[in-house]
Chain A
Amino acid sequence: MTQDTPLHPGLNLGAPHGEAHTRSEPVIFGFWVFLMSDLILFGILFATYVAMRNGTAGGPGPLELFDLTSVAIQTGLLLLSSLTYGFASLLLKHGNGQRRGLMIWLIITAALGLAFLGFELTDFHSMAQDGGVPSRSGWLSAYYALVGLHGLHITLGLLWIGVMLVQIGVLGLNCRVKTRLLMLGLYWHFLDLVWIGIFSIVFLAGVA
């Protein structure tokens, strides 16, 4: 029973990890609070996007600019990366400290994130080709700010994965590294959650 009692949100390392498990409690809780704050930030941008939905000012709108095939691929990539990060977390929890598999899953996650970012930037580029630049209209400003903020989060997440790969190599799987990997996991899953909002509210509702 006590072994299963979770101390914090998200995947728990569990009692066998000893200090790494107990010391994660306040840190992960704090990170969770941060994510909630970040959620509000996204919420403001979502609301602004909806409020500016008709502010196309005679410029191109969603029907002319959005490429739902690309959005579907991005959605798939991000969902898959959320899963591969899940596999990495499970190896962290149950893998008895073996680093290789963990690092491989992290690299796969990063590759998927990078591919997502590539598709997103290609979309931005082709939108700009069709006159869909942020300075064209209030709606496009809101679009680029919201989707761009998510993309920026993904970029920071990739940077973070990179730093963690180095830390796993240099420091090994010590207490702090384990806690940080748990935080990174929450962060990565959270970005997938935000993406659900983006593809539903921005893309699908925009074209429907």
Chain B
Amino acid sequence: MKNTAWQRELKHYLIGGLLSLILTVVAFAAVLGVDLSRAATLAIVAVAGVAQLIIQVRYFLHIDLSRQKREDLHLILFSLLLLTLMAGGTIWIMGDLAGRMY
């Protein structure tokens, strides 16, 4: 019984590691390996990055959508909201100011 739980959780980590590895390779390959437009490269890096964040949150930090963990999920979502407001706001404001100086 205990061993199976152990194996299940071990498999969990290994899946997470493997997926992270693949996404990392994709992101690096998009920049180094193939010749794409800058916008396309950035899009691939962004998507691979976000996907890897979700993978690691899911498989290493064990946060999922199951009922019991809602409280933590709320905390994360609220943090992401504020992060978006602060980081997005900063980039917007500073970008706007920079644009008006040229």
Enumerate chain A interface residues (CB-CB to B < 8 A). 5-6, 8-12, 29, 32-33, 36, 39-40, 43-44, 46-48, 50-51, 54, 68, 72, 75-76, 79-80, 82-83, 86-87, 90, 93-94, 186, 189-190, 192-193, 196-197, 199-201, 204-205, 207-208
Contact of A204 among B13, B20, B28, B60 (CB under 8 A): B28
Q: Which residues of B contact A10 (CB under 8 A)?
A: 61-62
Complex CA distance for A180 and B86, rounded to whole angstroms: 31
Complex CA distance for A201 and B79, rounded to whole angstroms: 19
B90 and A51: CB pair below 8 A?
Answer: yes
Chain B interface mostly: helix
B90 and A192: CB pair below 8 A?
Answer: no
Q: Which residues of A contact B45 (CB under 8 A)?
A: 200, 204-205, 208
Q: Which residues of A contact B79 (CB under 8 A)?
A: 36, 39-40
Within 8 A of A (CB), among B78-102: 79, 82-83, 86-88, 90-91, 94-95, 98
B31 and A9: CB pair below 8 A?
Answer: no
Identify the 4 closest CB pairs spanning chains A and B, nearest first.
A200-B49, A51-B94, A47-B90, A47-B87
Rounded to whole Å, the gap between the CB of B28 and the closest CB of chain A is: 6
B83 and A192: CB pair below 8 A?
Answer: no
Within 8 A of A (CB), among B5-24: 5-6, 9-10, 13-14, 16-17, 20-21, 24
A48 and B90: CB pair below 8 A?
Answer: yes
Q: Which residues of A contact B32 (CB under 8 A)?
A: 68
Contact of B38 among A12, A43, A208 (CB under 8 A): A208
Closest B-chain residue to A197, C-beta based? B49
Q: Which residues of A contact B31 (CB under 8 A)?
A: 68, 204, 207-208
Contact of A44 among B5, B27, B86, B95 (CB under 8 A): B86
Enumerate chain B interface residues (CB-CB to A < 8 A). 2-3, 5-6, 9-10, 13-14, 16-17, 20-21, 24, 27-28, 30-32, 38, 41-42, 45-46, 48-49, 52-53, 56-57, 60-63, 68-69, 72, 75-76, 79, 82-83, 86-88, 90-91, 94-95, 98
Q: Which residues of B contact A32 (CB under 8 A)?
A: 72, 75
Complex CA distance for A193 and B30, rounded to whole angstroms: 20
B46 and A46: CB pair below 8 A?
Answer: no
Contact of B41 among A36, A46, A82, A208 (CB under 8 A): A208
Q: Which residues of B contact A204 (CB under 8 A)?
A: 27-28, 30-31, 45
Indicate whether A40 sits within 8 Å of B83 (C-beta atoms), given known contacts A8-B72, A204-B31.
yes
Indicate whether A36 sits within 8 Å of B76 (C-beta atoms), given known contacts A6-B69, A9-B63, A205-B42.
yes
Q: A82-B56, A208-B45 given. 11 additional CB < 8 A pairs?
A: A9-B61, A9-B63, A10-B61, A11-B9, A36-B76, A47-B87, A47-B91, A87-B10, A94-B9, A193-B53, A199-B27
Q: Which residues of A contact B10 (CB under 8 A)?
A: 87, 90
